[in-house]
Structure 1
Amino acid sequence: MDLFGNSDNWAIKLEPILTKYKGNKHPLDYHNLYQLLVMVLLSAQDSDAHINKIAPALFEAYPNMESLAVSNGDALFHQISSVRNFSTKANWLLEIAQTIQKDKNIPLTMDGLVALKGIGRKSANVIMREAKVPAEGIIADLHVIRVAPRIGLITETKDGIKAEKQLMQVLPREIWGEIGMAISFLGREICRPRPKCEECPINGVCEYFNTVFKKEPI
């Protein structure tokens, strides 16, 4: 899969985007770990922008895990009814809150997070990255799933788990915590479905840029 047909270090190749995006806050506009957990769960198959829009009213009604734990489905439905799959997500949130009870009990390990209803590896990786705890995987959101194969990092797949597994095999552990979000930001800003290749800081090592874009008629 390596563009140059050898074992060139992907960590070095991707350094420009690691430098550009390292430490950038996730686009979800959360203000604490509780809000992050709730918003990450709600954003699945929905947009970050939409979740940001409904968040202020939601967190005014439910400022912490304790307040959410004593709510019920009907009340929570009213707050998140515009969210995709809101009824299922409401039930997941209530179960999480009733299990965790307090914000301080939110787990920050992969095993602890994926044990919660509605939290898969992608969501867990986002939460752990934003909480600045050691990474146990790599964020593989829809942007990463699109961009990583285009660069030449992994083979094409629609499956986030498979994409993450491939990324973990080719990237050194010391960059796991930041590289997924860096690729995601690249996908949001530059490597969009219609990519702006000439603006890309890693176009020199990108398989698509070197094998497709350069051959397209001007």
Structure 2
Amino acid sequence: MDLFEETKDWAAILRPLIAKYKGKEHPLHYKNIYQLLVMVVLAAQDSDANINKVTVDFFIKYPDMEALSKANTAELTEALAKVRFHSNKIAWLQEIAETVKEDKNIPGTMKELVALKGVGRKSANVILREAGADAEGILVDLHVLRVAPRLGISKGKNADKVEKDLMAALPKNMWGEIGMALSFLGRETCRPTNPKHSECIVSVHCEYCHLHKN
């Protein structure tokens, strides 16, 4: 009855998407893993564009984890006042800096990263990918959370479920790249309203497209 059975070869379907976005610059304009760690904490419930803007001066003043660990709350509040929920995020960054102390001590595994305040699986997946570490999961941001169910690869309503479904459907050698590829697809093509079906390279396999195109 349903044209979209669970026997789809999602690895074959999604490899062209990875090829399209391979090497595309991450939306957060970081220069090293310290900067990325700080930015992913700040970016929660805020826009990447705002974090890119705010952190230009921030990283001049606090160029590494050691400098951040010496900053007091008042200084950080002044520097990050334009970040949403900055009070909570400043407390998280202070605890991270106190724990990590130096850039060389930034964790390189999922377990260690998610143990840091303000770092969930989404952020940890980003950090591991950008650091070139072995993938331990798949990045699921708000774009992937929309795109994966639309495609039909997951029926999940939350990031944990969608990530598990993606991990089950795809070989591990795709985990590191597919999250950002789906995220870019969501940012550029599979928008919340008026998705650009004609521009989507996986539309022929997409449940949402077949239901809403005409």
Where does residue 71 of structure 1 map in the other structure? 71
1:160 maps to what in 2? 159
Cα distance change on mapping 1:4 and 1:80 into 2, 3 Å: same
Unaligned runs of 5+ in 2: none
1:186 is matched with 185
Counting only pairs closer than 5 Å after superposition, residues 49-60 of structure 1 correspond to structure 2 as 49-60=49-60
Q: Indicate the residue corresponding to 2:130 in structure 1.
A: 130
Gaps of 5+ in 1: none
Amino acid in structure 1 at the alignment position of 2:137: G
CA displacement, residues 186-216 of structure 1 (integer Å, 9 cap, x when unaligned) = 0000011120110001111111112221xx3
Judge conservation of contact 2:4–2:152 (CA < 8 Å) in 1.
no
Q: Which letter maps to 1:180?
A: G
Deviation at 1:160, TM superposition (A): 1.4
Q: What is the Cα deviation at residue 170 of structure 1? A: 1.6
Instruction: Answer whether contact 1:144 1:183 (CA < 8 A) is retained.
Output: yes
State the AA in 2 paired with 1:122.
K
Question: Retained in 1: the 8 A contact 2:18–2:177?
Answer: yes
Q: How many residues were matched structurally?
A: 212
**SS class of match (2:209):** helix
In 2, Cα distance between equivalents of 1:162 and 1:61: 39
Q: Measure, in 2, the Cα distance between the counterparts of 1:141 and 1:72.
A: 31
Show CA shifts across 1:64-89 (max 9, x none): 00000011111101111111110010
Hey, what does 1:89 align to over in structure 2?
Answer: 89
Alignment of 1:14-53 (within 5 A): 14-53=14-53
1:116 aligns with 2:116: yes
Q: TM-score, normalising length from structure 2? A: 0.96
Larger mean Cα displacement after TM superposition, 184-193 or 22-31: 22-31
Judging changes above 3 Å, is the alpha-carbon distance between structure 1 residues 6 and 143 closer, same or farther for their aligned structure 2 residues?
A: closer
2:184 counterpart letter in structure 1: F
Q: Identical aligned pairs, as a percentage?
A: 56
Deviations 1:105-124 (A, max 9, x none): 00110001001000000000
CA positional deviation for 1:25 = 2.5
Q: TM-score, normalised by structure 1?
A: 0.94
* 8 Å Cα contact 2:108/2:128 also seen in 1: yes
What amino acid is aligned across from residue 181 of structure 1 in structure 2? M
Mark the CA change 1:34 to 1:6 in structure 2 (over 3 Å): closer, same or farther.
Answer: closer
Q: Contact 2:93–2:117 (CA<8 Å) still a contact in 1?
A: yes
- 1:156 Cα offset (Å): 4.2
